[in-house]
């Protein structure tokens, strides 16, 4: 089994303690809520998507563990400025990374998100990292139902 530091890397701890884009956006165009009933994590995600399909702003609020908070923080930073299609592609790439479907981190697409590389060694924590991303796709789909990790 790998070292705890592979999971709790400095970048993750930093974003977990001081999440970026941690605010509410009453004027958002897309919104979704996510729950992890296993540990009580919850996240509210707010997106502003322009007419031509660009994510102009992304922010979130909620309470969660270091992993889910860092994941939400880094996700909102990553998708800001992307087109909706690019954001959806990044979700698939991130999901494949953390579930081990495609563990390579050599491509530039993931950027800083490659730091979540170590999480696949902790199967019961994958849901924590995935929760904000499921909220992202739900928000982009315009689905009003809260998303759950279960």
Partner 1 sequence: MSAATVTPAERIDVDAIRAEFPVLHQQVHGKPLVYLDNAATKHKPRAVIDSQTHYYEHDNANIHRGVHLLSCRATDAYEGARARVRRFLNAAEDAEILFTRGTTEGINRVARSYGELLAAGDEILITHMEHHSNIVPWQMLAKRKGTVLKVAPIDDAGQLDVAAFERLLSPRTKLVSIVHQSNSLGTINPIAELIAKAHAVGAVVLVDAAQSCSHLKVDVRALDADFVVLSSHKLYGPTGVGVLYGKRALLDRMPPDEGGGDMILSVTFEKTIYNKLPHKFEAGTPNIAGVIGLGAAIEWVESKGLDAIAAHEDDVLRYGTQKLCEIPGVRIIGTATHKASVLSFTLGEIHPHDVGTVLDMEGVAIRTGHHCTQPVMDRFGVPATARASLAVYNTRADIDALCAALHKAIEVLG
Q: Which residues bind partner 1 (CB under 8 A)?
A: 1, 4-5, 7-8, 13, 17, 38-42, 63-67, 69, 122, 124-125, 128
Tokens of 119: 């999480």
Q: Which is nearer to partner 1, 7 or 147 (CB)?
A: 7
- Dist. CA 136–CA 131, nearest whole Å: 9
In sequence order, which ranges of 37-121 are alpha helices (DSSP H)?
Answer: 66-79, 84-99
Residue 1 C-beta: closest distance to partner 1, Å: 5
To the nearest 5 percent, what fractions of the chain are helix, strand and coil?
Answer: 50, 20, 30
Residue 121 C-beta: closest distance to partner 1, Å: 10
- Dist. CA 133–CA 125, nearest whole Å: 14
Residue 139 C-beta: closest distance to partner 1, Å: 22
Q: Which is nearer to partner 1, 72 or 128 (CB)?
A: 128
Q: Which is nearer to partner 1, 7 or 44 (CB)?
A: 7
- Dist. CA 18–CA 36, nearest whole Å: 21
Q: Which is nearer to partner 1, 57 or 117 (CB)?
A: 117
Residue 9 C-beta: closest distance to partner 1, Å: 11
Q: How many CB atoms lie within 10 A of CB 56?
A: 11
Residue 8 C-beta: closest distance to partner 1, Å: 6
Q: Which is nearer to partner 1, 67 or 140 (CB)?
A: 67
Phi, psi of 130 (to 5 degrees): -80, -25
């Amino acid at each position: 089994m790998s070292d705890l530091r592979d999971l709790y890397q400095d970048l993750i701890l930093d974003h977990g303690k001081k999440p970026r884009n941690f605010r509410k956006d009453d004027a958002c165009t897309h919104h979704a809520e996510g729950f992890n009933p296993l540990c009580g994590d919850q996240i509210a995600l707010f997106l502003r998507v322009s007419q031509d399909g660009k994510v102009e702003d992304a922010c979130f609020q909620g309470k969660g563990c270091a992993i889910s908070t860092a994941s939400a923080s880094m996700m909102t930073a990553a998708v800001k400025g992307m087109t909706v299609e690019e954001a959806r592609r990044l979700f698939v790439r991130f999901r494949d990374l953390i579930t081990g479907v495609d563990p390579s981190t050599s491509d530039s697409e993931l950027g800083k998100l490659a730091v979540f590389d170590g999480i696949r060694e902790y199967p019961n924590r994958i849901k924590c990292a995935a929760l904000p991303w499921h909220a992202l796709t739900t928000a982009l789909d315009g689905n009003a139902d809260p998303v759950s990790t279960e």
